[in-house]
């Protein structure tokens, strides 16, 4: 059924159709509308049987999800930003224990400075935590990925994080096709756990493992992610059969067939990138875009096949590793490790900075003229940066950086574009 609704509403609806039995969450922007919507559905009886548990923190949210999942329940939670960091220890435990929890991360920057807006720093901080990480390009895809996430998680006994851009997607009203309950039921079978805390057949989950077998247990976690690389395209294929549309899989390519330059990105910025690609194609330039849907496991072979014929790769990423540069681009480099193509890193959209078509247009023109540095910060205002550096050079007590910058630019609120 077609509906014009908020991204958070669409995701809450999709999660409800997956019949979760335990939902626990702690509110944090921009995720809150999702669990609010689910809470309403549980309270009104639309979603049942399901227990909605209010917890006192994100750490408790993930801990409750772990307990519920270990007891055999289909468990769901959602968070963002500092909330994801606060649950970090439990995030590692969920994957280490092999519990198929599904969690939405409404991507948001990490402080300090505190910032409620979108970038990918939160999910990236958990990229090595052993979860599958899927990134949605649109609200339709966010909705569809949640349905696939439960299926993938439970088939592998591995937790899945569905990442969607905070505000840009969660708070955007757009057209979505909401599936029917019967379709979801056909696609997503009842959860049959590989391991379960059952008083009739007692087991323990969470043994201490010493040096004698820790490496092997960890390797098995890696092996499971490699299995996911095989499974996800099959799940996407089955999804297409049941729901009649493409979603999920490992990567998505756009006009890359004969492209000399391929732009790689994750999430909602792909839409703006595709529009820019169309503009440049109209002027005869051979450029394409490639979206990474599955960031973990990282689809090295699929990327290699898709990128190998391009002469340059530009990775636009909403995150960066302070002190070195790109995060996504280093992984992309792994896919082309023995190849000569340059892989340029472009850091963009940090803390909600708008990524505009005009900035991307110029960026790609520069890239195609081989004018990009290995590491570029899109639309970085050097005037602001140099002023602070100069102050710090000349004044010992230069004061807090963030406050100094805001004073320099004479504003507190954000701008239109």
Partner 1 sequence: MFQVRMHGRGGQGVVTGAEMLSVAAFLGGKHAQAFPSFGSERTGAPVVAFCRIADTPIRLREPIVAPDALIIQDPTLLHQVDVFAGLRRDGYILINTAKSFAQLGLGEFVKGFHPERLLTVPATDLAVKHVGRPLPNAALLGAFAALGGQISLDAVCRAIESRFDEKVARGNVAAAKEAYEIVREEERLAETHHA
Residue 416 contacts partner 1 per CB under 8 A? yes
Distances (CA, A) of 221 to 72, 195, 256, 288, 349: 20, 15, 33, 34, 32
Number of amino acids touching partner 1 (CB under 8 A)? 30
Which residues inside 165-184 make contact with partner 1, applying CB under 8 A?
167-168, 171-175
Give the range of 1-9, 299-307, 318-326, 393-401 binding partner 1 by CB under 8 A.
1-9
- Taking CB atoms within 8 Å and a gap of at least 24, the contacts of 201-208 are 205/70, 205/97, 206/93, 206/97
Q: Closest by alpha carbon to 353, among 130, 43, 117, 153?
A: 117
Contact residue for partner 1 among 119, 352, 372, 376 (CB under 8 A): 352
The bridge status of strand 102-107 relative to strand 160-165 is: parallel
Q: How far is CA 361 from CA 131, 289, 402, in A?
A: 34, 13, 30
What is the distance between the alpha carbons of residues 298 and 226, in angstroms, rounded to a whole number? 9
- CA gap 334, 336 in Å, rounded: 5
**Does the footprint of partner 1 cover residue 85 (CB under 8 A)?**
no
Alpha helices in 157-250 (DSSP H): 181-187, 214-243
Would you give the binding string for partner 1 spanning residues 263-282, x where CB under 8 A is met?
A: -----xxxxx-xx-------
Binding mask 394-413 for partner 1 (x = CB under 8 A): ------------------xx
Contact track, partner 1, 110-129, x by CB under 8 A:
------xx------------
| Nearer of residues 102 and 355 to partner 1, judged by Cβ | 355
Instruction: Please state, in angstroms and rounded to a whole number, the distance separating the CA atoms of residues 218 and 214.
Output: 6
Nearest distance, CB of residue 373 and partner 1, angstroms: 24
Give me the least distance between CB of 349 and partner 1, in Å please.
10
- Residue 171 Cβ, how far from partner 1 at the closest point, in Å? 6
Q: Which of 384, 414, 376, 390 is CA-nearest to residue 402?
A: 384
Q: Interface with partner 1 includes 199 (CB under 8 A)?
A: no
Binding residues for partner 1, rule: CB under 8 A, are 2, 4, 6, 116-117, 138, 167-168, 171-175, 268-272, 274-275, 352, 354-357, 412-414, 416-417
């Amino acid at each position: 059924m077609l509906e014009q609704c908020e991204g958070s509403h669409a995701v809450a609806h999709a999660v409800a159709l997956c019949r979760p039995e335990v939902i626990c969450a702690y509110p944090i922007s921009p995720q809150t509308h999702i669990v609010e919507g689910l809470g309403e559905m549980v309270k009104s009886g639309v979603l049942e049987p399901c227990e909605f548990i209010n917890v006192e923190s994100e750490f408790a949210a993930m801990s409750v999800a772990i307990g519920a999942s270990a007891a055999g329940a289909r468990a769901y939670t959602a968070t963002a930003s500092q909330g994801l960091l606060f649950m970090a220890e439990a995030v590692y435990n969920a994957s280490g224990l092999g519990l198929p929890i599904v969690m939405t991360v409404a991507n948001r920057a990490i402080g300090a400075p505190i910032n409620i807006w979108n970038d990918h720093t939160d999910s990236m901080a958990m990229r090595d935590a052993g979860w599958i990480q899927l990134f949605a390009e649109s609200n339709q895809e966010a909705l569809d990925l949640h349905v696939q996430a439960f299926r993938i998680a439970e088939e592998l006994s591995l937790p899945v994080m569905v990442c969607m851009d905070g505000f840009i997607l969660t708070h955007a009203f757009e057209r979505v096709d909401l599936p029917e309950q019967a379709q979801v039921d056909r696609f997503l079978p009842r959860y049959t756990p590989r391991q379960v805390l059952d008083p009739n057949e007692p087991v323990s989950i969470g043994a201490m493992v010493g040096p004698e077998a820790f490496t092997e247990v960890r390797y098995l976690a890696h092996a499971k992610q490699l299995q996911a690389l095989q499974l996800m395209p099959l799940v996407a294929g089955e999804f297409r059969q049941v729901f009649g549309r493409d979603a999920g899989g490992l990567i998505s390519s756009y006009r890359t067939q004969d492209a000399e330059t391929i732009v790689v990105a994750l999430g909602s910025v792909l839409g703006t990138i595709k529009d820019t690609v169309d503009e440049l194609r109209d002027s005869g330039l051979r450029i394409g875009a490639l979206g990474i849907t599955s960031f973990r496991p990282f689809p090295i072979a699929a990327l290699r096949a898709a990128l190998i014929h391009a002469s340059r790769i530009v990775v636009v990423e909403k995150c960066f590793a302070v002190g070195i540069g790109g995060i996504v681009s280093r992984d992309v480099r792994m896919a082309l490790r023995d190849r000569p193509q340059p892989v340029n890193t472009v850091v963009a959209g940090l803390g909600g900075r708008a990524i505009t078509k005009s900035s991307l247009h110029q960026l790609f023109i520069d890239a195609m003229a081989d004018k990009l540095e290995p590491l570029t910060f899109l639309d970085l205002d050097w005037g602001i940066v140099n002023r602070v550096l100069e102050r710090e050079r000349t004044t010992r007590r230069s004061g807090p950086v963030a406050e100094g910058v805001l004073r320099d630019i004479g504003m507190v609120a954000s701008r239109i574009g």
